[in-house]
Each structure stands twice: as structure tokens, then as C-alpha cells.
Chains A and B, each alone.
Chain A
């Protein structure tokens, strides 16, 4: 079946602008995760959802970052007043439920802030 999809695949924006990154999880997966991966590093946790609610947002770096999942499926990561340090690959993953552990990743969105 279809895997996790993310759009756009690449996003270039100017410092100070607002961006939205979208994630479509595997159908039926109730848990959804966002990670950020800088060049040469492992992914770093940002936030995860169980259904529509954010179960853990402890990885969000500051209040410029926000994520929603209004219908328990598609999720959008929103970044306000982007900074050059926000440049990274933003990865989304889903799993059948948090307790089942296995997380399946999408291809990521490469964000470049100029």
C-alpha cells in the first residue's frame, strides 16, 4: 500500500516568511510524528500526535513552530517568522499506534531559508 507522503519535497523561503509542511500518514495509522534532520545528523523529535491531539510536543524548539492534525489523518507543521537556522529536512513518520512502536518515515521536506 501507499507509504507516508510529504509535500512539498523542497521548499525555499526567505527569512521571516511563514511556511506550512504537509504529511499524509499511512492509512489507518493513528500515531503521527514529526522529526527534523540537520545535515550529517540523526533525526530529532519535534512532536507526536495520537489521533487529533498532540501527545508530546516537547521537541518543538520554540513558539514559532506549531503543528495540527484536525481530523486525525493529515498533519501540517507550521513555522512562523522563519530563520536561517530552521533550514533542515523535516521528516514525518506514522505508526499503527504509539504502543506498537514501529515508525515508518516519509521522504521528507527539505526546507531552505535564505
Chain B
């Protein structure tokens, strides 16, 4: 079945540094790749997404890149702030998993002031 591997499991950075989280997927037919931010006690919040016909997408300090040949995609956060501290999840959909999202295991990001 579908599988998404996410690394690292924890990431600690200083305020102002960049953070990068990487995911790989197995289903070559997947065509939608969202990233979610989850704070303690809350539901996942969609922060950015990318479709398979695009290689990179930016939204202010957040960017996502997609390499369909290698089947991996990454989240880049620049100029990190303490409020970026949360758990981040990558996910994929489309192909054989149309409609449903398959999530990675999550990355705990801590931004130290």
C-alpha cells in the first residue's frame, strides 16, 4: 500500500535559522502533497500544498519542493520564529489513494529564541 517516510523525527533550530523536513513516498501515481502543522491539543492545519505538475511553491517564509522522479518532497521554513514550533506532517494523495491522505510520522520542530 501507500507509504510515506518523513525525516527527521525531531528538529531543533535557533530563531532565524532555516528548517528543512523531507518526505519520500512510494506510489508513483500520487499527485497531491500537502503539509500540515499541528499544535498541542489541536487538529492539523494545512499550511502549504503542491501538485505534481509543479516543482516548487512558496508562501512567504514557507516553501515546498517536489521531485517526482525521485519521489520525494520537502518543506523549507526560513527565518524561523518561536511560534513555528509545532509538529509538522507531510502527506500524499491521488493515484490509488484518491480522496484520502496518507501521512508521514511527523517532525517535532522546536525553535529556540
Contacts and interface: CB of A to CB of B under 8 A. Distances in A.
Nearest to B108: A40
A45 B44 CA distance: 14
Chain B interface main SS type: strand
Q: Which 5 A-B pairs have the closest CB atoms?
A: A42-B103, A105-B43, A98-B99, A45-B100, A101-B32
Given A41-B105, A41-B106, A104 B46 contact: yes
Given A43-B101, A56-B100, 18 more contacts: A4-B43, A41-B106, A42-B4, A42-B103, A42-B105, A44-B103, A48-B99, A48-B100, A50-B99, A101-B32, A101-B34, A101-B93, A102-B34, A102-B46, A103-B101, A105-B43, A105-B45, A107-B42
Given A43-B44, A108-B43, A33 B100 contact: yes
Contacts of B49: 101-102
A98 B4 CA distance: 20
Contacts of B4: 42
Contacts, number: 61
A42 B104 contact: yes
B102 interface: yes
Chain B interface bracket (under 10, 10 to 19, 20 to 34, 35 or more): 20 to 34
7 contacts: A31-B99, A33-B99, A48-B100, A98-B98, A101-B94, A102-B49, A105-B46
A16 interface: no
Contacts of B91: 42
Contacts of A4: 43
Contacts of A56: 99-100
A42 B103 CA distance: 6
Contacts of B100: 33, 45, 48, 56, 59
